[in-house]
Structure 1
Amino acid sequence: MTSSAILSRSAKSEPAGGFGPVATLPPGAVRLVGGAPAAEALLTGELAAAFTTALAGATALQYSVAPGIEPLRGWIAEHELSGADRARAVALAGRYGFLVISDNPYRSLRFAGAEVPDLPLDSEAVVRVNTFSQTLGPGLRSGWIAAPEWLLPVLTRLRANVDQHSSLLTQTALAGVLTVPGFFDGVLRTARELYRERSGVLTAALRSRLGERVAFDVPEGGIFLWMRATEPALDLVALRERARALGVEFALGRYFDPEGAGGHTDRIRLGFSNASGADIELGVERIAAAWVA
């Protein structure tokens, strides 16, 4: 079945944006959608204390929401630029007057392979942006930016035009924990060890249960695995419906196409960050059962 045929069959039941309609899953369902840090990697006690401190004596709090924010879309790069390629890109940016932006929220969660140096901050053409959502919790909706001094006033004005600023309460609480020596490094160490283990469980289960029916690169970091179905005629939309009925949820690759929902119809994204090893194995077992159903 072609990609267009798959989309045609599913057009009436699934909208183009987001991750599709909310599914009704049976009790005990395993969610391999991912997107949230592991509970074991979050020092919730310290965060709770930081929020308590931030609230103490507060006379006013402001909360703003920017209207019209589009559904979050991810793009998983299949190849990573080498250190030499990155240095060349920065040199070209300095020569021709454009900016190079480093935006990798999973950079600090690398647990295997060789680390590629980030773009150098000594260049006037480099901007780094990152988030605490993948490390300290998605609900914080806070991150940071490092940019040349000449660009900061422009960025500040742009941000003010969107929603003024991030929550003062959240910023104060984050400052309270991030300034504790070793706190954030400890969170990252715990997360990397957990994700290394859970990634290994997931890849082993996929090889055992699905074998040559799927292809994937072994994750070297982050919280997701990007998997391809090797059977061209397989309808992954129908597969997910069968999997949901068996009690497992995952994200279709079509929702990560930056051009819309027309590509990556042979791909599945599996999250392993906030699922135990036992749940990961059970989830893959159910996916495999749906595969042959």
Structure 2
Amino acid sequence: MPHTFSRRMDGLRSSAIRDLLTLTARPDVVSLAGGLPDPEFIPRERIRKEAECALADPASVQYGETTGLRRLRDVLAAREGARIGRALDPGQVVVTHGSQQALSLLAQVLLDPADIVVVEEPAYTGALQVFRAAQADIRAVPLDRDGMDTTALQELLEAGVRPTVVHTVSNFHNPRGVVLAADRRERLAALADRYGFWVIEDDPYGELFFDAPPPPPVATFSDRVIRLSSASKILAPALRVGWLHGDRAVCEAVELLKQGADLCGSSLTHQITAAMLSDEAWLALHLDTLRTRYGARSRALTAATTTTFGNAATLSDVKGGMFCWVEFTDDTIDTADLLPTAVEHGVAFVPGSAFGVGADLGAALRLCFATCPEDVLAGACERLGSAYLAHAQS
């Protein structure tokens, strides 16, 4: 019998990044493709100790509240409230199974089929998957070195386009690596208030700055901002702890859908995460270590890429996060075609086309510097240079 699926499956495709994780599992391939923290930087011993403490409480292995462990929501409300500069009620916080689930639930709450969603281009692939599954009408505005082009967004709005949602990765953008400038944050918030759309501010990388912290969140300036973040990049992906906060009615709607999605999160990992995030002295030292080590890796990658390609490529100005965006000046090259040759030479990346909506990003690629030590990154760039030459000659 033929398989008949729902209409929401039409046009969906697998994430290029998740597919690459399978492709590059070979031990001889250095993967600069996935956005994976280095396991050596994950505080496994501290997680083990907190797990032992949590397991002394029978509640840690029981069902919990759909919105998340109250202690964890208290901690998150305090931390996020400090960022946005106003008190945040724990009732405005929902803990999710990673920030990706938060994004998925928000799409279900806020979007009907054919509703307009504006994204940045290049766009976060996880957001594109979610909005395509929601059958949204996806429009794109460009990014530059100061983040989302809010002038282009305003022109879109003045032309009569009425989005329901505008999505932004405000800090150390995935994949572009840029930070949304302070004045653009205020302008985006003002546009949301004027035109009545929701802003989803996706911020899993904001605490991984190398020199100076990013500007205040977009949520500082408007109540029409739903802010997402995660413990995956600063503690451990396996905890699967993300969160959203914002308008109480939106949070209540998310809770209602989450009841049908997974009933509740893990009481055990919520207890572990709450303990680690509330230990301010330990967390400050841990974050300083991450910033120092990832900063050194970013400099190693950008230096090696510049040495390898010279004027043949331009790089994003990496000031935090996990990614470097590379654009070849020869716009005849297609990095999707380059990728198989690169894998043959023992290195992998994500082609720019994986992040595209309408623009031609074929001459670009994304590199992740977080997973590998400096010497490995330098060697990977040499392999990429060899692959580039071999591909050009072929």
Confirm or deny a common fold (TM above 0.5).
yes
The partner residue of 1:265 within 341, 362, 377 is 362
Matched residues, number:
274
User: Which moves more between the two structures, 241-250 or 56-65?
Assistant: 56-65
Q: Does the Cα contact within 8 Å between 2:227 and 2:246 map onto a contact in 1?
A: yes
Q: Does the Cα contact within 8 Å between 1:240 and 1:249 map onto a contact in 2?
A: yes
The C-alpha deviation readout for 1:171-214, integer Å capped at 9, x for no partner, is 12111222223232222211111121111111111111111221
Matched residue SS, 1:127: strand
The partner residue of 2:283 within 181, 184, 187 is 184
The C-alpha deviation readout for 1:266-289, integer Å capped at 9, x for no partner, is 111100001000000000000011
Runs (5+) with no aligned partner, structure 1? 1-14
- The match for 2:206 is 107
User: Which moves more between the two structures, 197-206 or 184-193?
Assistant: 184-193
The partner residue of 2:236 within 133, 137, 151 is 137
Q: Which has the higher contact order (CA 8 A, sep 6+)?
A: 1
Q: Match of 2:253, as an amino acid?
A: V
The C-alpha deviation readout for 1:206-234, integer Å capped at 9, x for no partner, is 11111122111121111011111222222
Matched residue SS, 1:73: helix
- The match for 1:167 is 266
Structure 1 residue 150: Cα displacement: 4.2
* CA distance 1:26–1:39, change in 2 (3 Å): closer
Cα distance in structure 1, aligned partners of 2:324 and 2:220: 30
1:211 lines up with 2:310 in the alignment: yes
Cα distance in structure 2, aligned partners of 1:201 and 1:167: 38
Cα distance in structure 2, aligned partners of 1:152 and 1:74: 19
- The match for 1:290 is 387
Matched residue SS, 1:107: coil
* CA distance 1:25–1:35, change in 2 (3 Å): closer
- Within a 5 Å distance, the mapping from 1:202-281 to structure 2 comes to 202-258=301-357, 263-281=360-378
* CA distance 1:99–1:18, change in 2 (3 Å): closer
- The match for 1:3 is none
Matched residue SS, 1:162: helix
TM-score normalised over the length of structure 2: 0.62
Q: Larger % of helix: which?
A: 2
Structure 1 residue 51: Cα displacement: 1.9
Q: Does the Cα contact within 8 Å between 2:189 and 2:225 map onto a contact in 1?
A: yes
* CA distance 1:212–1:74, change in 2 (3 Å): farther
Cα distance in structure 2, aligned partners of 1:90 and 1:34: 31
Structure 1 residue 61: Cα displacement: 4.8
- The match for 1:51 is 51
Cα distance in structure 1, aligned partners of 2:274 and 2:214: 27
Percent pairwise identity:
28
* CA distance 1:74–1:258, change in 2 (3 Å): farther
Q: Does the Cα contact within 8 Å between 1:103 and 1:130 map onto a contact in 2?
A: yes
User: Which moves more between the two structures, 23-32 or 181-190?
Assistant: 23-32
Q: Does the Cα contact within 8 Å between 2:63 and 2:264 map onto a contact in 1?
A: no
- The match for 2:137 is none
Q: Match of 2:318, as an amino acid?
A: P
Runs (5+) with no aligned partner, structure 2? 1-11, 65-95, 105-123, 129-141, 148-179
Cα distance in structure 2, aligned partners of 1:131 and 1:121: 18
Matched residue SS, 1:166: coil
- Within a 5 Å distance, the mapping from 1:12-23 to structure 2 comes to 17-19=14-16, 20=19, 22-23=22-23
**CA-atom RMSD, angstroms?**
3.1
Matched residue SS, 1:210: helix
Cα distance in structure 2, aligned partners of 1:114 and 1:55: 36
Q: Match of 2:387, as an amino acid?
A: A
User: Which moves more between the two structures, 143-152 or 182-191?
Assistant: 143-152
The C-alpha deviation readout for 1:78-130, integer Å capped at 9, x for no partner, is 43243233223334434554433321211111213672221245743232211
* CA distance 1:189–1:74, change in 2 (3 Å): farther
- The match for 2:150 is none
- The match for 2:126 is 73
The C-alpha deviation readout for 1:141-196, integer Å capped at 9, x for no partner, is 21122213444322321322322222222112111222223232222211111121
